[in-house]
Amino acid sequence: MNELIKTYQNNCDEWNNLYAQQQEVKEKFNKKIWDIKYKYREQIRKIESKMYDEIGVIDEEQKNKEDEIQREKDVIAEKLNQAQEIFKYIHLHANKPIADTPDVYSFRYGNRTSFNPIINIRDDNYCKAYLYIITNNKPVNKYSLIMVGSCPVLEPDRDTVNNLYSYGVNANTKEKCHIMLNIKDDCSEKFLREYAKKNIKRITNLLSIVDEKIAKYQQAIEIFQTTEGKIAFYNWRKEYYEKHYSNGTETPEYKTVLKKLKQLRG
């Protein structure tokens, strides 16, 4: 047993000795490696600096080229957007849009209350918009002066002049109304009537966007009267069914578009 313990002790001493030698070798060679690193560090720094300078020149050249291409893309994108807006108006025209007279009402405690317009802001084939005074659910200023109207020419961009559904203003319509604007709240219905009359010009100007849209709508109809306009429109619809409509090429509408294009091209 004493011999075994003696052997164990000798092995431990030998292992510790070898471990110490191993650490010494590590330190020795690590020092040599760091000496080499220090030796070339300045040269590497200079080479890297030169490398990054050259990369910077290429990066700048790439950025300038990409910006140039992007500017060209933006010009084309603007033209495409203008054309697509025309196509949307043509598509709207094909569906024979009608401006409906809004039926404005509210529900409270299960009761339906209808509201009659107090002022006619606009009433033509393109836009019907009126002012209403409705009761609301606000603790004070319990009357709201609102504008509600139907204007299909706003539909291609899903435009609305503003959103009526703000806190406490619970107006509903059966029609799809594109103009829904909460103008002013007050505690007096009489005050809101006077306010509407006094500010009628400013309120009417809120619909200035409508005239702009009507002009574009009429321009689109004129373009569609030409063969080139029809071909461009049906190509746009063709692409819609091919790229943006799930299984669009299987629809009857797609086949109709192909037939129209074939007829137009002779």
pLDDT tens per residue, range 219-230: 999 999 999 999
Q: Are residues 186 and 118 in the same domain?
A: yes
198 found inside a domain: yes
Nearest to 104 by CA among 132, 144, 145, 135: 132
- pLDDT of res. 1: 56
Tens digits of per-residue pLDDT, 167-177?
556 677 766 77
Looking at the fold, whether 176 and 254 belong to one and the same domain comes out as no
Q: Are residues 115 and 203 in the same domain?
A: yes
Percent of all residues in the chain with a pLDDT value above 90, rounded to a whole number: 49
For residue 248, being part of any structural domain is answered with yes
Same domain, 108 and 202: yes
Residues 139 and 232 occupy one common structural domain: no
CA dihedral 238, 93, 130, 160 (to 10 degrees): 20
Domain-embedded: residue 23 = no
The average pLDDT across 35-47 equals 90
- pLDDT grade for 156, boundaries at 50, 70 and 90: low
Structural domain total, the chain: 2
Domain around 241: 226-265
Question: How far is residue 162's CA from residue 178's CA, in Å, rounded to a whole number?
Answer: 9
Does 49 map to a domain? no
In the β-sheet with 179-186, what is the strand arrangement from edge to edge? Answer: 119-123, 128-135, 143-150, 179-186
95: left (phi over 0), alpha (psi -120 to 50) or beta: alpha
Q: Quick one: pLDDT band at residue 4, thresholds 50, 70, 90?
A: low
Record the pTM.
0.66
Same domain, 129 and 168: yes
